[in-house]
Amino acid sequence: MVRESELIVAIRQVLGAPGERVVRWTGDDAAVVRARPLAVTSIDTVADGTHFTLATHSPADVGHKALAAALSDLAAMGAEPGEAYVSLALPAGFSPALALELVRGLATHALETGTTVAGGDVVRSGALVVSVAVTGWAESEGELAGRDGARPGDLVAVTGALGASAAGLLVLEGAGSADLDEATASRLAERHRRPTARLGAGRALVAAGATAMIDVSDGLATDARHLASASKVRLELSLAALPLAPGVEDLASATGRDARALAATGGEDYELLLTLPVDRWDEAAAAETRLTRLGSVVSGEGLELTGVRGAKRLHGYEHL
């Protein structure tokens, strides 16, 4: 058991060696990082009771998830991950040993993604809250994509497969336990607890011509509206083509849900939704192992969803 006074020292040991860009890091008053031309910065916060519960997530899961959520915004820009700065707000019952387990989960995922945890802060709080600010890097603006570049005539595509996180959350809440085989249930739960950002795909897809991009963090139905609004265009998408993660149809049928509606509204899959000119499709499809065309960009505004019953009313997660 680590005493609280030793927590910061113990955290530093867990973090391992910093990346090459990092000149000064934890243990100094501020981090010093050798910059590349463009810094891409985002911050993300996860709170117990809002984004996870400790009843269904280990401290290491929370650390992993907090970093993955922050990195996903760098993936959506096409940036290369660099440094992370972590604020841990720990409730009274959360021991230094549990805090260290959380940091281990975060540090392991940092290593997997080439991210250096270069600084942070620990405070006492009423609930467990983890904020992660990440900085990514790029050589030029052309290496990056925003939400506002979609043009009428572009096609709309999504990476990977959707619905695993939403289905995993339902599994963790006890849904479908009678009808789902154990391996499928635990795979879905794992996708909810330990998502991964599509960092390599984000960079490759910008290089392959993506005109606009957003990570699917709040659910496709909501994130597609954000992209349409930022680009001042209308997206026409068919959910009939929506790629479903393994096990999502099983969970949906075990619980009487529409699998595609679940996948279109469940957040935290951290796949990428993007637009690109039709003549760049082959290049983009070659750059990404699984890319599915969902529809087109047209002039106008908003989002038109078709392909499942009640599609027009589907919404993902709304903040505040």
Lookup: tokens for 256: 């009487």
Q: For residue 318, count other CB atoms closer than 10 A to its CB.
A: 8
**Minimal distance, residue 252 CB to Mg ion, in Å:** 25
Cα-based distances in Å from 48 to 45, 59, 128: 10, 11, 5
Segment contacting Mg ion (CB under 5 A): 123-131, 173-181, 207-215, 302-310? 207-215
Query: Residue 143: helix, strand or coil by DSSP?
Result: helix
Q: How far is the CB of 76 from Mg ion (least distance, A)?
A: 5
Q: What distance in Å separates the CA atoms of residue 13 and residue 117, rounded to the nearest whole number? A: 12
DSSP 18-39: PPTTEEE-BTBSS-EEPPPSEE
Contact segment (CB under 5 A) with Mg ion among 26-34, 145-153, 213-221, 301-309 equals 213-221
Residue nearer to Mg ion on the CB measure, 81 or 176: 81
Given the complex with Mg ion, which of 77 and 169 has the nearer CB atom?
Answer: 77
| Sheet with 38-47: strands ordered across | 38-47, 129-138, 80-90, 116-124
Least Å distance between CB 120 and Mg ion? 22
If you compute the radius of gyration of the chain from its CA atoms, what whole number of angstroms results? Answer: 20
Q: 161: closest CA among 53, 80, 245?
A: 245
What is the C-alpha to C-alpha distance for residues 162 and 166, in angstroms, rounded to an integer? 9
Instruction: Tell me how far, at minimum, the Cβ of 268 lies from Mg ion, in Å.
Output: 11
> Which is closer to Mg ion, CB of 119 or CB of 267?
267
Q: How far is the CB of 82 from Mg ion (least distance, A)?
A: 17
Nearer to Mg ion, 224 or 254 (CB): 224
Select 211 or 217, whichever has its Cβ closest to Mg ion: 217
Structural contact between residues 16 and 110, judged by C-beta atoms closer than 8 angstroms: no
Site string for Mg ion, 52-91 (x = CB under 5 A): ---------------------x------------------
Binding residues for Mg ion, total number by CB under 5 A: 3
Q: Does 271 bind Mg ion (CB under 5 A)?
A: no
Binding mask of the shown chain, residues 104 to 133, with x at each position contacting Mg ion by CB under 5 A: ------------------------------
Residue 215 binds to Mg ion (criterion: CB under 5 A)? yes
Binding site for Mg ion (CB under 5 A): 73, 215, 217
